[in-house]
Amino acid sequence: MTADISRDTFDARKRYAGVVMQQGRVQLDADWNEQQSILRHHAETQAIDIIGASGAPVHDAGFKLTTDGAKVRIGAGRYYVGGVLCENPVEVDYLNQADYPGAPDLASLFASAGTTSAIFYLEAWRRPVTGLEDPGIREVALGGADTAIRLKTIWQVKILPVKPAAAGPRAVSEWDQLITPATGRMSARAEPSLSGDNPCLTPPAAGYQRLENQLYRVEIHRGGDRNSATLKWSRDNGSVVTAIESFNGQQLTVHDLGRDAALGFANGQVVELISDAVELTNQPGQLLRIDHVEEASRLVSLTTAPSPVNAALRPKLRRWDSAEIALSSASTADGWIELEDGVQVKFEAGTYKTGDFWLVPARALTGQLDWPFLTPQPSRNKPHAYCKLALGALTRNVLSLQDSRMLFTPIAESPPAMHVTGVNWVHDDIIALEPLQSAGLQIFFDGAMTAPVGDSGQSLVSVTLETPAPLKIINPGADAKSTFRLSTPLAGEVSLPAPNVLSWKPAQSGAELSNLVAFLVNENIQRVRLRVILRGSMIWSEQSDQKLYVDGRVYGKSGFRADGSPRIDLTLPSGDGVKSSDFESWLYLQLRIPPPKLTQLGLSSTLANPGDQITGTVVIDRPAQTPFTVALTVSGDGARVPASVDIPVGQTRANFIVTAATPASTTRIVVSGAASGVTLQETLTVQVINIAVTPAEVTIFVGGSQQFSAQESGGASPAGVTWSVQGPAGASISQSGLFNSSVAGDFQIIATSNADRTRNKVAIAHVRQKSKDTKETKEKDNDKAFEKSVEKIIEKGAEKNIEKTREKATEKTREKIREKLAEKIPDLLISDLPLPALSGETTDEQVLVMPDVEAIVAKGRSFIRPAERPDLSRPPA
Instruction: Report the distance separating Cα 366 and Cα 369, nearest Å.
Output: 8
When pLDDT is cut at 50, 70 and 90, the band that residue 825 belongs to is low
Predicted local confidence at residue 798, as pLDDT: 43
CB proximity list for 494: less than 8 A, separation 6 or greater: 452, 457, 458, 460, 461, 502, 503, 504
> What's the average model confidence in pLDDT over 272-276?
96
Instruction: Report the distance separating Cα 571 and Cα 554, nearest Å.
Output: 6
3-state secondary structure of 588: strand
Convert the pLDDT of each residue in 335-366 to its tens digit.
999 999 999 999 999 999 999 999 999 999 99
When pLDDT is cut at 50, 70 and 90, the band that residue 388 belongs to is very high
The pTM score is 0.54
Q: Give the pairing type, strands 697-701 and 760-768.
A: parallel
> What's the average model confidence in pLDDT over 401-418?
85
The answer to whether residues 755 and 719 touch, using CB atoms and an 8 Å cutoff, is yes
> What's the average model confidence in pLDDT over 526-554?
88
What percentage of residues in the chain have a pLDDT greater than 70? 85
Q: Give the pairing type, strands 241-248 and 316-320.
A: antiparallel
3-state secondary structure of 748: strand
Tally of CB atoms within 10 A around 662: 11
Tally of CB atoms within 10 A around 225: 14
The answer to whether residues 250 and 291 touch, using CB atoms and an 8 Å cutoff, is yes
Predicted local confidence at residue 866, as pLDDT: 56
Is the pLDDT assigned to residue 713 strictly greater than 90?
A: no
Instruction: Report the distance separating Cα 642 and Cα 672, nearest Å.
Output: 11
Tally of CB atoms within 10 A around 257: 20
Is the pLDDT assigned to residue 835 strictly greater than 60?
A: no
CA 648 to chain centroid: 31
Lowest mean pLDDT among 256-260, 273-277, 861-865: 861-865
Q: Which of 1-5, 115-119, 854-858 has the highest mean pLDDT?
A: 115-119
Predicted local confidence at residue 151, as pLDDT: 94
> What's the average model confidence in pLDDT over 512-532?
86
Predicted local confidence at residue 795, as pLDDT: 55
Convert the pLDDT of each residue in 692-706 to its tens digit.
999 999 999 998 999
Predicted local confidence at residue 96, as pLDDT: 95
Convert the pLDDT of each residue in 541-561 to its tens digit.
887 667 889 999 999 999 998
When pLDDT is cut at 50, 70 and 90, the band that residue 148 belongs to is very high
Reported for 379-385, long-range contacts at CB under 8 A and 24+ positions apart, including other chains, are 379/182, 379/184, 379/186, 379/220, 379/352, 380/8, 381/355, 381/356, 381/357, 382/125, 382/126, 383/181, 383/182, 384/123, 384/124, 384/125, 385/81, 385/82, 385/83, 385/84, 385/123, 385/124, 385/125
Return the higher-pLDDT residue of 83 and 868: 83
Phi/psi for 742 (5° steps) reads -100, 5
Q: Give the pairing type, strands 745-753 and 709-713.
A: unpaired
> What's the average model confidence in pLDDT over 41-59?
93
The answer to whether residues 72 and 120 touch, using CB atoms and an 8 Å cutoff, is yes
Is the pLDDT assigned to residue 376 strictly greater than 70?
A: yes
Torsion of CA 730, 735, 738, 740, to 10 degrees: -10
Instruction: Report the distance separating Cα 472 and Cα 157, nearest Å.
Output: 45
- 509 in the Ramachandran plot: left (φ > 0), alpha (ψ -120 to 50) or beta? left
Predicted local confidence at residue 626, as pLDDT: 87
- CATH T-level fold of 598-676: Immunoglobulin-like (2.60.40)
When pLDDT is cut at 50, 70 and 90, the band that residue 824 belongs to is low
Predicted local confidence at residue 846, as pLDDT: 40
When pLDDT is cut at 50, 70 and 90, the band that residue 856 belongs to is very low
Is the pLDDT assigned to residue 871 strictly greater than 90?
A: no
- CATH T-level fold of 690-768: Immunoglobulin-like (2.60.40)
Instruction: Report the distance separating Cα 396 and Cα 107, nearest Å.
Output: 11
Task: Using alpha carbons, select from 35, 310, 4, 265 the residue that is nearest to residue 128.
Answer: 4
Instruction: Report the distance separating Cα 282 and Cα 223, nearest Å.
Output: 10
Predicted local confidence at residue 792, as pLDDT: 63
> What's the average model confidence in pLDDT over 718-745?
92
3-state secondary structure of 452: coil
Q: Where in the chain is the domain with CATH 2.60.40.10?
A: 598-676, 690-768
> What 3 state SS string does 315-372 have?
CEEEEECCCCEECCCCCCCCCCEEEECCEEEEECCCEECCCCEEEEEEECCCCEECCC
Tally of CB atoms within 10 A around 397: 11
Is the pLDDT assigned to residue 801 strictly greater than 60?
A: no
Convert the pLDDT of each residue in 167-205 to its tens digit.
555 546 889 999 999 999 999 999 865 455 555 555 555
Q: Which amino acid is at 326?
A: A
Name the average pLDDT for the chain: 86
Predicted local confidence at residue 821, as pLDDT: 61
When pLDDT is cut at 50, 70 and 90, the band that residue 514 belongs to is confident
DSSP characters over 174-206: HHHHHHPPP---EEEEE------S-TTSPPTT-
Predicted local confidence at residue 823, as pLDDT: 60
